[in-house]
Amino acid sequence: MDAISEKPVCYVNGQLVPEGTGAVSALDRGLLLGDGLFETMRVLGGGILQWQRHWERLHSGAQTIRLALPWTADELHQAVGQTLHANNLCEATVRLTVTRGFSPAARGLLPPADAPPTLLIRATPFAPYPDHLYRDGMRVIISRKVRRNEQSPLSRVKSLNYLDNILARQEAAEKSADEALMLNTRDSMACATAANVFCAHAGRLRTPPVADGALPGTIRALVREDLAPSLGRVVDETQLDESALLNSDEVFLTNALMGIMPVCAIDGRPLSTGAPGPVTRGLRAAYERWFVQQKTKKEGR
């Protein structure tokens, strides 16, 4: 096990190096072309929450973009653990990035046949979302400038190219909103810039399907497969248009860092009472119970 560093370090291709050093080649395809994938993970009690789901999404994404991963799930898990230990972190956010690696030609789109991928892992102290957002809800907009291309295979992977998401988030900031929701090319709801979206109407839970451009999120899967069933609820994957969302009783967002986040208003229009509703509150309570269980397991109690 590597020694604990006094200054932040990151993991680059098997080595722990100080953050901010020029450790990645200027000819790396991740830098030049956005040719790669990433996972953002929550670490609790020194352990990665939902590691298996993160690994499966990374592996599936690599197959989609035809990037051969030379590491096993266990090897990547160990590399993350090494990075956490070196930074003396137990409660953290981990960003794991894989690129297609060094391209000696520096031009052209076709990847070299034998370039080894680049692996970067960065761990930072976990910074929670503000409490008032969970209490009062997020204010979101529906982006009018960006559409998510549900017909592209990239809508189903966490690609390094996040420019559409960045543009939509800038649009939200310009309108004093916390997040932006994105429609797809068929005017159906896809997702938020950094989260999946759910809605509840008359107690019925719905979320856009992956075929409509929704990223297969890890907390999305947890809600659908574990939390909602534990409360006797079923989540329907179904096409949602803008009207269906605006007329919902409740809307909430999910991702690996925020967990379950209520939405209080869309495009300046309050949802129902303008406060987190009973379905969202119930799911948040179920998530908190699950979270405590995971923490107990990670800490070995």
Give the tokens for residue 290.
Answer: 């699950």
Superfamily of domain 131-295: D-amino Acid Aminotransferase, subunit A, domain 2 (3.20.10.10)
Determine which of 106-115, 123-132, 190-199 has the lowest per-residue pLDDT on average.
Answer: 106-115
- Residue tagged 């722990």 (tokens): 16
189 by DSSP, 3-state: which?
strand
Query: Average pLDDT for residues 113-124, to the nearest whole number?
Result: 94
> Domains of the chain: which residue ranges?
9-125, 131-295
Q: What integer pLDDT is reported at residue 26 of this predicted model?
A: 87
Q: What integer pLDDT is reported at residue 301 of this predicted model?
A: 47
277 half-sphere exposure, CB direction, 13 A CA radius: 22
- Burial, 249: exposed, middle or buried (Cβ in 10 Å; 0-12, 13-18, 19+)? middle
pTM for this predicted structure: 0.94
**Do 9-125 and 131-295 show the same overall fold?**
no
Pick from 153, 27, 16: nearest CA to 99:
27
Tell me which amino acid residue 74 is: D
pLDDT tens per residue across span 228-243 = 999 999 999 999 999 9
Determine the Cα–Cα distance for residues 104 and 111; give it in Å rounded to an integer: 10
Determine the Cα–Cα distance for residues 287 and 290; give it in Å rounded to an integer: 5
pLDDT of residue 178 exceeding 60: yes
Just give the CATH number of 9-125: 3.30.470.10
Longest dimension (CA), the chain: 58
β-bridge partners, 40: 95
Determine the Cα–Cα distance for residues 79 and 116; give it in Å rounded to an integer: 17
pLDDT tens per residue across span 69-105 = 999 999 999 999 999 999 999 999 999 999 999 877 6
H or E element, residue 44: strand 36-44
